[in-house]
Amino acid sequence: MAVVALLGDINIDLVLDIPAYPGEGGEAIATGQTVAIGGSATNTAIALARAGHECRLIGCVGQDAWGRQALSELQKAGVSTLWIGQDPAEPTQLNVVAVSATGERTMFAYRGANAQLSDDMIDEAALAGAALLHLSGYAFLQPRQAGAALRAIDIAEQRGIPITLDVPGGVVAALADALRPLLSKLDTILLADGDLPQLLGRPRDATLDSLVAALLEQGVKRVAIKGHGTDSLLRQANTGDSAPWFPVEVVDTVGAGDAFAAGHIHGRITGLSAAYCCRLANAFGAVAVTRKGAGQAMPSLDEVLNLMTGAR
């Protein structure tokens, strides 16, 4: 399989099952609790490692127990930790995730050591022989980590390495100004259809076709829409493909978008058709939502293929 370099957050997720959200100042008694590794790029790296790829994760943790746990879990998952720094002052990010009775997640986080990744911590060797560089949009929330991401992009461009960017939902307004200048550098962008207007600075009632066309005109080669109705979409110049979501019982949506990204990346670097990439990404996301948490709960390729085979 291929070498994939990934840059983004590494954190510990405290996932709480909350049957009903209280008002401000109230209390909610969780019906379940899970503590595990997480982070958008981390989850995608674990899923890709389980698909057989050599994954090199670029990030930063604190010099604390959470950081040691994160490094240990990554190593167990087969993800290289050689390019992960350790900050002596800031803690490893703790992500508190409240999951509702419908499986929807709400997150609270202090970014800690993740935001301390800097451009001088990016080693060109991390991208040596890479088939693709994948970036989590969270890396552009704060200037220091954004500088590190830009350095990685420069190296990838110099080496002709395709770049993918996963834009997380809920923070597009904070990211848009930083991401717009990068669009011409992207092979693939992955995002929700509702985030397109904010990313591009267009009216909310702009049509999906016009928004996707704007991305393609600005140089993005592939636009992967995570959800449009009951389908996901993949648009390229002069072509468009889609696939319906798989009907599965949703337990927890934590990590679903990260798994979806892993499916598209796997399809992209193994030369699969655009239509199959859509279906594969949907299957990765579908398996992810049937279990609690992310991290070590990320799907394996066998589980994904079994779902696709059964759905036929």
Report the alpha-carbon distance of residue 156 to residue 144 in Å, rounded: 19
Please name the residue that has the structure tokens 């560089």: 133
- 63 CB contacts (<8 Å, ≥6 apart)? 86, 87, 88
- pTM value? 0.94
Q: What is the pLDDT of residue 311?
A: 67
Per residue in 208-224, pLDDT tens? 999 999 999 999 999 99
Per residue in 33-69, pLDDT tens? 988 899 999 999 999 999 999 999 999 999 999 999 9
Q: What is the pLDDT of residue 105?
A: 80
Report the alpha-carbon distance of residue 157 to residue 38 in Å, rounded: 28
- 229 CB contacts (<8 Å, ≥6 apart)? none
Per residue in 195-253, pLDDT tens? 999 999 999 999 999 999 999 999 999 999 998 888 999 999 989 999 999 999 998 88
Percentage of the chain beyond pLDDT 90 is 80
Per residue in 159-198, pLDDT tens? 999 999 999 988 899 999 999 999 999 999 999 999 999 9
SS3 237: coil
SS3 191: strand
Long-range pairs for 267-272: beta carbons < 8 A, 24 or more residues apart: 268/132, 268/162, 268/164, 268/187, 268/188, 268/222, 269/2, 269/4, 269/53, 269/131, 269/132, 270/1, 270/2
